[in-house]
Structure 1
Amino acid sequence: MKAVNIYLNFEGKTEAAFNFYQSVFGGEFMGGIMRYKDFPPSEEFPPLSEAEKNLVGHVSLPLGDHSILMGTDVVESLCKGHKTVMGNNVHITLETDSVEEAETFFGKLSEGGHTVMPLEKTFWAEKYGACTDKFGVHWQLNYTRNKAQ
């Protein structure tokens, strides 16, 4: 496995939170702040309001040499009714070394739990999936090959 990272979900507060974390930990955002309007068009995404388009779609702040703090503003319509509340807003993100490793871990972690997003190709990853295990822990699995996070 390449890395274990932390992914935080917010409702409209990601930019403020990450500016705060940057002031605490230092460093620079990897690739800047990506807003939903910056995402490539996708048939999977429903139309977004102008306010939603300006929310943070993804931000990454390196914490030392081997960890990344990542975050997003959750848009309920994109997450099929998912409502962010304290307790479900933190995910453990595994960056795997291969598609096979992602599939193995995802299969085992989601067994007896709940699949939030099936493991599939996305514009940022060869394979990405999200699930909640049978103990209520939220996981995201990424195989990005050499793509930035």
Structure 2
Amino acid sequence: MAINIEPAVIPHLVVGDAAAAIDFYIKAFGAEEVGRVPRPDGKLVNAAVRINGFMVMLNDDFPETCGGKSMTPTSLGGTPVTVHLTVTDVDAKFQQAVDAGATVVVPLEDQFWGDRYGVVEDPFGHRWSLGQPVREVSPAEIQAFMSGTGG
């Protein structure tokens, strides 16, 4: 029997409390838990949720496997990565994340590139942008805005 492998890119997040992160992602983004693999002490070696129809993997922080260094965004002083969600009701989804405990980083607003867009940070230090296309914008319009001659 052959194993069916489908190519994918899957974010894999390190968090300080993976079980709490799963609960947060369910409340904030309507995630569906796919599974979890706990150690005997309860820390999660691996877990997965499905958000917006796509897989996101996560695990607890294990400094002992990283030269003694914590790898959470909080311990690293932030994150250079933002996970983006394109949704159909961005106002409701953004508010749902905030109500679940996310912090607003970039307020939800209509943007020059045609999306209604905002960014939140989850309680574990990961950033999530949410966007919904609301109007068509040509590359020329975007360039005019970026050069200061439009908008």
TM range (shorter): 0.3 to 0.5
The structure with higher relative contact order (CA 8 Å, sep 6+) is 1
Q: Please, what TM-score do these two structures have when normalized by structure 2?
A: 0.40
Q: Please, what TM-score do these two structures have when normalized by structure 1?
A: 0.41
The structure whose Rg is larger is: 2
